[in-house]
Amino acid sequence: MKRLLIPLAVLLALVGGYAAAVHFSGGAFYDFGVPLGGDLGELRRTTTSFLEDLQFKDFENAARYHSPDMQDSVDIPYLLERLFMVKPEALDIMEYSIILAEVDSSGLRARIKSRVKFKELIKGNIKETELMLYYHRDNTDSPWYMKLESSLHQLEGEEGKKH
């Protein structure tokens, strides 16, 4: 009986230690589909899902990461062209990885930095770029929503201020 309990206890300790590492790292380690890591883990999973939607050109699904009032008006192909400087039909996202996840002290704003490797299909060039995605929510119990569209609009200076 002891021969079985010792390896089982060691295995449980290893699994528990790994689960704790995943949680306290904010989901930076592979989580096997278990929702660990708190807000950072959720944001990492959301960003990974968003980038996968872009990779497979599922623009309708990619718009759902924005707030509900913006989802129908978000023009993902246009935003992709602004981000990568390549027409969406000529863009092949080859791989991506999340390199930074941060939530501010209020717990209402977050940013996720990812590295994206892509190919320009017409020219055949392979490039790599870093992409910063911003998220917000109304309160700590609300879901996170992306602010991709607003961060890419042309900024206009306020009237009466020097630019």
In this prediction, residue 156 carries a pLDDT of: 61
Sheet holding 109-120, edge to edge: 91-103, 109-120, 126-136, 145-146
pLDDT, position 4: 80
Whether residue 144 has pLDDT greater than 70: yes
Residue 136 host element (H or E): strand 126-136
**pLDDT one-digit tens code per residue, 35-73:** 556 888 899 999 999 999 999 999 999 999 999 998 888
Domains of the chain: 37-152 (3.10.450.50)
pLDDT, tens digit (0-9, with 9 covering 90-100), for 84-141: 999 999 999 999 999 999 999 999 999 999 999 999 999 999 999 999 999 999 999 9
Identify the pLDDT of residue 28.
61
pLDDT attached to residue 128: 96
